[in-house]
Structure 1
Amino acid sequence: MSKFFELITESIGWLQIVASPFLIGICIGSFIYFPNQTSTRLVLGVIIATLGLVIGIIWATKAWKGKGTIWTISRVMATPELDEPDDEN
């Protein structure tokens, strides 16, 4: 049962890691497409969004096979100021 919960949390972390570059790709693709809506710009925007998705999948899979997606997310969200004791006293 513990492996099942670990799989669920790692899967959610994988989706979070994939979402970041994918959303950046969607934003860049929409900035390219919406000012002048032509079919060429649509194809370019879709290619950029797909590239963001592929980069996210590769990044998340490497993180999962490494130390794990939850470890990767926790290191990104950590505050290094709170990791070491305050020596200013």
Structure 2
Amino acid sequence: MAKKAIAATLDGAVMTAEGLSYKGVILEPIVEQCEGCERVIPFEDAKYCPAYAQPARKWAHGVCNFATHVRAGVDKEGKVKVNPLKASKRAARGR
């Protein structure tokens, strides 16, 4: 299955004293973890994320769910992390 390209522009964005104003929202510049993401858009001398206004807060508690360059985490045993609630429901279905 082919991946869709994420195409977005910041048409109508205006640089203000608070930051970049886009559709009534003040966007903050991206953080280091956002580098490589397909959603990042350069505007003047900085890069911004149109999906989330405060990228640093998205990365504060783990991986940003909008990130296109990061995949699901793998635990120490090499297995993909699974939600325990979903795992218990799957096990109950198999009785």
**TM-score, normalization by structure 1:** 0.28
**TM-score, normalization by structure 2:** 0.27
* Bigger helix fraction: 1
* Bigger strand fraction: 2
